[in-house]
């Protein structure tokens, strides 16, 4: 099978405009006859369902949550990028495009990223019109801040709850379409199988999680906005119920999974505190605007802190190592996430960590308190304010900016971050890999589209901060409403599909059999315990640093554990009832297969790039070393049957608008 990315011809900056002007359209009358299934109600799914409904398509929208508003996009904190250049600091569509391609370590598809940068401004306008209360200046104009990996201020935000506000905007747009009847909403319905008829995606099998019944749904095409697979690591910043099942079920039907090894480990999360821990909590990257990252320069100081004999504030300034500022003077604390995470690991591996486990570094706001305090005192005409007064004013300013984050930190750790520096450590946060899609966001199964985090397209090997929200909404509001046209325009004569077709019965039976197996198993171990063990293998061998030996070992371990899982997992209850353990079992089963493919992909990619760091491939200074000659491609894996080996297809990445060069933040 050959991969055709369907990139339109022409110069980079004209591709999207030209393509849009010439693409086939579906007339309003025909739209009313066409049905679209949208799975997922996060930023990508909700915005797509709402927009497609507004256009006149008949939309059926699905979420496994009790309400569309619970999708995990809601937890995104920091902000959303757009090339508005409201700060007059030299921003432009080209610069956003360039930063994203460079930030992704030159492993994304140029044409898609350029389109993303082009529509970024429309997203902000749309969200403002929907009533998203973005931060504003006293003039009433929109405010911006800065994020990692860029040198302009282009991030729009709503305190530390930008994802929540954007998702509620999309949820409200979706709710409006539900009330108008263009979208039928199915809450508490989980997609467990894709139905393919004559080679095209024509429906899904979903389990009604309240009654436990399997239900069939048909449509002319299927759109997935089902998020990322970070929970394969068990501990991550993802919500507990985030899973890969919808995405993985379509892989089993022949769709390709691209670059599954690209995982984003976020540098600023609250360190792990115990074995029973169920998830990790992110502290927004925006904190690196004002916080300085450091560890004690002397090993004996670090040891004293780990043993509780000293505190961070006991370490004099000259004995602190602000390692990001030291190693990367040009970007300092605002280097991209992959770089910041690896640097934290390096310091902790050397023994400089500042928590009992040795796995933590400081994020310190003391100098920000002083800086903001002085500025505030000046604006209040306070002459010669005392150090205490300056600090007090500075604390108030920081509280205004990041109050909810500081509060969240205190709730979880029991420590007051206004008094002692925060302790942070990297954690799994986002997955750049995902379903392979072409320029239309269509997978290799015709009629199956993938949007947002569940596709692979825009972030290459590393995503920049505040770009996930941008991509989710770009795909849903401004890309798929157009790019679904080329497929659906050929379907205007296709009548509605009956769910009595044998393909539906077959798919439903397959699901039934899969679920019944878990229930009949009557093993001895809980689903959770297996998930935890899988996560440990993944983190150890396919986490922040990877090597061939470890990855080979991990593949063996995962296979063994998968076998044990299918033999010895215990799932209580029955199929025909509300049964959260059964839901989890089906999801963890899919994580096992995905986890193996991630290791296979990581093993195949012998270079280091972005979030994928192969210990064998580094420069003399220890930085990641890319190999453009051999690996400038997206690795799309076909793996319908785990009994056979996965098959690799390569989409070679061509760089026309941006010159391939070594990424440097020094």
Partner 1 sequence: MKLRLKVWRQKSANDKGYFEDHTLEANEHMSFLEMMDVMNEELIQQKKEPVAFEHDCREGICGACSLVINGQPHGPMQGTTTCQLHMRHFNDGDTIHIEPYRANAFPVIKDLVVDRSSFDRIIQAGGYISVSTGQAEDGNAIPINRNDSSLAFDAATCIGCAACVAACPNASAMLFTSAKVSHLALLPQGKVEASRRALKMVNQMDEEGFGRCSNITACEAECPKGISIDNIARMNREYLSASLVGEEK
Which residues, 529 to 548, sit near partner 1 by CB under 8 A?
A: 529
Question: How far apart are alpha carbons 375 and 398 in whole angstroms?
Answer: 12
Among 72, 102, 202, 292, binds partner 1 (CB under 8 A): 72
Q: Which of residues 568-597 bind partner 1 (CB under 8 A)?
A: 570, 572-573, 577-578, 580-581
Nearest by Cα to 205 from 574, 591, 640, 515: 515
Q: Whose Cβ is closer to partner 1: residue 11's or residue 28's? A: 28
Give the C-alpha separation, 50 to 173, whole Å. 6
Residues contacting partner 1: total by CB under 8 A: 79
In contact, 224 and 246? CB cutoff 8 Å: yes
Kindly state whether residue 240 participates in binding partner 1, applying the rule CB under 8 A.
yes
- Footprint (CB under 8 A) of partner 1, residues 159-178: 159, 161, 164-165, 168, 171-173, 175-176, 178
> Alpha carbon of 551 to those of 406, 510, 613: distances in Å?
38, 32, 12
Look up tokens 């000659």; give the residue.
629
Asked whether the beta carbons of 350 and 405 are under 8 A apart, the reply is: no
109 vs 159 by CB, closer to partner 1: 159
- Nearest approach, Cβ of residue 40 and partner 1 (Å): 14
Q: In sequence order, which residues have a C-beta less than 8 Å from that of residue 208 and are 6 or more positions away?
A: 188, 189, 214, 215
Q: Does 652 bind partner 1 (CB under 8 A)?
A: no
Q: What is the 3-state secondary structure (H, E, C) of 243-304?
A: CCHHHHHHHHCCCCEECCCCEEEEEEECCCCCCCCCCCCECCHHHHHCCEEEEECCHHHHHH
> Cα–Cα distance between 28 and 56 in angstroms, integer?
7
**The residue count for the chain:** 666
Token readout for 349 is: 């591996």
User: By CB under 8 A, is residue 349 in contact with partner 1?
Assistant: no
For partner 1, which is the closer residue by CB, 68 or 260? Answer: 68
Task: State in angstroms the smallest separation of the CB of 148 from partner 1.
Answer: 21
Name the minimum Å distance from CB 47 to partner 1: 8
Q: CA-to-CA distance for 456 and 109, rounded, in angstroms?
A: 10
Are 401 and 290 within 8 A, CB to CB?
Answer: yes
CB of 239 to partner 1, least distance (A): 4
| Interface stretch with partner 1, choices 120-128, 296-304, 372-380, 638-646 (CB under 8 A) | 120-128
CB of 493 to partner 1, least distance (A): 27
Among 28, 90, 140, 502, binds partner 1 (CB under 8 A): 140
Q: How far is the CB of 177 from partner 1 (least distance, A)?
A: 9
Instruction: Please check whether residue 138 is in contact with residue 35, taking contact to mean a CB–CB distance below 8 angstroms.
Output: no
Q: Which is nearer to partner 1, 314 or 399 (CB)?
A: 399
The C-alpha angle 623, 629, 632, rounded to 5 degrees, equals 80
Are 38 and 174 spatial neighbours (Cβ–Cβ below 8 Å)?
A: no
Question: Considering the rule CB under 8 A, would residue 663 count as an interface residue with partner 1?
Answer: no
| Stretch touching partner 1 by CB under 8 A, among 8-16, 131-139, 319-327, 633-641 | 131-139
How many angstroms separate the CA atoms of 552 and 548, rounded?
Answer: 6
The catalytic position among 337, 342, 562, 614 is: 337
Q: List the one residue from 34, 36, 38, 47 that touches partner 1 (CB under 8 A).
A: 47
Least distance in angstroms from the C-beta of 613 to partner 1: 27
Q: Which helix (H) or strand (E) holds 115?
A: helix 110-130
Rank residues 168 and 390 by Cβ distance to partner 1 and give the closer one: 168
User: Distance (Å, rounded) from C-alpha 52 to C-alpha 182?
Assistant: 9
Q: Would residue 337 show up in a list of annotated catalytic residues for this protein?
A: yes
Binding-site member from 46, 96, 185, 261 for partner 1 (CB under 8 A): 185
Residues 468-507 interacting with partner 1 (rule: CB under 8 A): 477-478, 481
User: Is 226 among the residues that bind partner 1 (CB under 8 A)?
Assistant: no
Least separation in angstroms between residue 166's CB and partner 1 is 11
- Does position 282 interact with partner 1 (CB under 8 A)? The reply is yes
Both tokens assigned to 519? 């229930």
Which part of the chain contacts partner 1 (CB under 8 A), choosing from 407-415, 458-466, 484-492, 610-618?
A: 407-415
Q: Which of residues 78-97 bind partner 1 (CB under 8 A)?
A: 84, 86
- 554 touches partner 1 (CB under 8 A): no
Q: Which residues are catalytic?
A: 337
């Amino acid at each position: 099978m050959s991969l055709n990315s369907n990139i339109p011809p022409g110069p980079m900056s004209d591709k999207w405009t030209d393509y849009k002007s010439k693409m086939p359209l579906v007339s309003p009358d025909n739209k009313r006859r066409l049905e679209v299934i949208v799975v997922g109600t996060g930023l990508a799914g909700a915005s797509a369902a709402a927009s497609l409904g507004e256009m006149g398509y008949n939309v059926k929208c699905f979420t496994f949550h009790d309400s569309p508003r619970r999708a995990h996009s809601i937890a995104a904190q920091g902000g959303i990028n757009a090339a508005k250049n409201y700060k007059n600091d030299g921003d432009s569509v080209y610069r956003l495009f360039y930063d994203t391609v460079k930030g992704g370590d030159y492993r994304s598809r140029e044409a898609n990223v350029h389109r993303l940068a082009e529509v970024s401004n429309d997203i902000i306008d749309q969200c403002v019109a929907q009533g998203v209360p973005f931060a504003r200046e006293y003039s009433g104009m929109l405010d911006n801040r800065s994020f990692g990996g860029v040198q302009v201020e282009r991030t729009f935000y709503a305190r530390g709850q930008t994802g929540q506000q954007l998702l509620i905007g999309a949820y409200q747009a979706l709710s409006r379409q539900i009330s108008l009847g263009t979208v039928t909403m199915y809450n508490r319905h989980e997609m467990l199988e894709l139905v393919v008829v004559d080679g095209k995606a024509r429906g899904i099998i979903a389990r009604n999680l309240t009654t436990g019944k399997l239900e069939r749904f048909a449509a002319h095409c299927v759109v997935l906005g089902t998020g990322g697979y970070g929970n394969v690591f068990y501990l991550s910043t993802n919500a507990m119920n985030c899973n890969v099942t919808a995405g993985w079920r379509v892989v089993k039907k022949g769709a390709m999974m691209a670059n599954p090894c690209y995982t984003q480990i976020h540098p600023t999360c609250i360190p792990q505190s115990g074995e029973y821990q169920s998830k990790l909590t992110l502290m927004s990257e925006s904190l690196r605007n004002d916080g300085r990252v450091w560890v004690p320069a002397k090993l004996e100081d670090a040891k004293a802190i780990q043993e509780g004999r000293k505190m961070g504030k006991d370490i004099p300034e000259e004995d602190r190592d602000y390692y990001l500022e030291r190693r990367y003077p040009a970007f300092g604390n605002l280097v991209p996430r992959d770089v910041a995470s690896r640097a934290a690991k390096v310091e902790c591996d050397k023994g400089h960590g500042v928590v009992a486990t040795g796995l933590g570094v400081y994020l310190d706001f003391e100098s920000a308190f002083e800086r903001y305090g002085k500025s505030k005192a000046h604006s209040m005409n306070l002459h010669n304010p005392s150090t205490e007064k300056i600090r007090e004013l500075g604390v108030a300013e920081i509280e205004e900016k990041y109050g909810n984050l500081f509060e969240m930190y205190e709730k979880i750790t029991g420590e007051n971050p206004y008094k002692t520096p925060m302790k942070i450590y990297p954690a799994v946060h986002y997955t750049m890999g995902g379903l392979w899609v072409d320029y239309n966001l269509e997978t290799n199964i015709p009629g199956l589209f993938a949007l947002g985090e569940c596709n692979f397209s825009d972030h290459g090997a590393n995503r920049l901060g505040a770009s996930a929200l941008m991509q989710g909404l770009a795909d849903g509001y401004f890309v798929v409403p157009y790019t679904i046209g080329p497929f659906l325009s050929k379907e205007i004569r296709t009548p509605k599909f009956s769910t009595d077709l044998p393909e539906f019965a077959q798919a439903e039976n397959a699901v039934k059999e899969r679920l019944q197996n878990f229930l009949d198993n009557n093993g001895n171990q809980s689903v959770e315990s297996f998930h935890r063990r899988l996560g440990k293998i993944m983190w150890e061998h396919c986490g922040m640093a990877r090597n061939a030996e470890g990855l080979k070992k991990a593949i063996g371990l995962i296979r063994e554990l998968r076998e044990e899982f299918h033999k010895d997992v215990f799932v209580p209850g029955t199929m025909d009832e509300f049964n959260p353990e059964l839901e989890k079992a089906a999801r963890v089963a899919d994580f096992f297969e995905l986890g193996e493919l991630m290791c296979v992909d990581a093993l195949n990619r012998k270079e280091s790039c972005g979030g994928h760091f192969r210990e064998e491939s580094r420069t003399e200074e220890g930085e990641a070393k890319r190999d453009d000659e051999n690996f400038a491609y997206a690795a799309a894996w076909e793996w319908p049957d785990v009994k056979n080996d996965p098959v690799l297809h390569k989409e070679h990445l061509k760089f026309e608008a941006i010159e391939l060069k070594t990424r440097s933040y020094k």
